[in-house]
């Protein structure tokens, strides 16, 4: 039986790249998404073209009933979950001055999707994984949190996003420590500036800054760059490195003089 990967926020961008790469590597895919449906269906078609099954499940990870349905539907359909890629995330609705334009309602929305949702989904999935491993159904369960360079790089015009990703870093650390004795490995992938719809409002600025040396490798990242890190994790290449942060950022985070 194929291993099963649950990818949240899988309809486009980084999530799509990860889902397709996992399908090509031999996983069946549970694709969690929020509307529009057509984007998720496009990703599902790419997964199927790679020879894998795609189970599409709509749901908002910030909503408890949606998280419960997502996990239960996965287990009902496949009977297993080998990998959780907690990728769903949103940015602020509009960038603005930290002291003037911060909106409390939007802050709660960003925290719910980027931090609370991944935390409580991981609680539920981890409990299921421990039982599946004890039963011999899933020998090597793994959880991957997709955070961001914004966990450490301050952007005062989108403060809630930065805070949510900094919090997600600690979530990954907590779960890595707690789950290591149970044989569930946990990793954090911290993307740099990745060419996805999320960066559209600032893409031109990023391109100019990269041309001026912001990123040592001299380009925007791609969803496929992130997917390669996930595949290395699933192959077992990092099985003695639980809790590590994998920075896929072209050198953005290197301190220079």
187-224 exposure pattern, b = at least 16 Cβ within 10 A, e = fewer: bbbbbbbbbbebbeebeeebbeebeeebbeeeebbbbe
Residue 94 is among the residues annotated as catalytic for this protein: no
Residue pair 122/177 in contact by the 8 Å Cβ criterion: no
Q: Which of 11, 12, 148, 150 is catalytic?
A: 148
Residue 65 is among the residues annotated as catalytic for this protein: no
Q: Which of 86, 119, 161, 164 is catalytic?
A: 161
Looking at the DSSP bridge assignments, the partners of residue 83 are: 5, 142
SS (H, E, C) 109-124: HHHHHHHHHHHHHHHH
Q: Which of 86, 147, 150, 164 is catalytic?
A: 147
Residue 150 is among the residues annotated as catalytic for this protein: no
Residue 161 is among the residues annotated as catalytic for this protein: yes
Say which residues have a Cβ less than 8 Å from residue 180's Cβ, sequence separation at least 6: 186, 242, 243
Residues known to be catalytic: 147-148, 161, 165
């Amino acid at each position: 039986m194929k291993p099963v990967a649950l990818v949240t926020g899988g309809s486009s961008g980084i999530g799509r790249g990860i889902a397709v790469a996992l399908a090509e590597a031999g996983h069946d895919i549970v694709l969690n998404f929020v509307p529009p449906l057509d984007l998720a269906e496009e990703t599902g078609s790419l997964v199927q073209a790679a020879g894998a099954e795609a189970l599409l499940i709509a749901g908002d990870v910030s909503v408890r009933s949606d998280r419960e349905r997502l996990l239960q539907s996965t287990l009902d359909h496949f009977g297993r979950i080998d990998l959780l890629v907690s990728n769903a995330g949103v940015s602020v609705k509009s960038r603005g001055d930290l002291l003037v334009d911060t909106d409390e309602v939007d802050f709660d929305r960003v925290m719910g999707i980027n931090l609370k949702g991944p935390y409580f989904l991981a609680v539920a999935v981890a409990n299921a994984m421990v039982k599946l491993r004890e039963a011999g159904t899933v020998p090597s369960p793994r959880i991957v949190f997709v955070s961001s360079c914004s966990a450490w790089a301050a952007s005062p015009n989108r403060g809630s996003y930065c805070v949510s990703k900094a919090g997600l870093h600690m979530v990954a650390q907590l779960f890595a420590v707690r789950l290591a004795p149970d044989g569930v490995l946990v990793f954090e992938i911290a993307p740099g500036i990745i060419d996805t719809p999320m960066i559209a409002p600032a893409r031109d600025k990023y391109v100019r800054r990269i041309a001026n040396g912001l990123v040592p490798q001299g380009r925007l990242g791609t969803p496929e760059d992130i997917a390669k890190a996930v595949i290395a994790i699933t192959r077992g290449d990092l099985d003695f490195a639980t809790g590590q942060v994998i920075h896929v950022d072209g050198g953005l985070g290197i301190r220079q003089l």
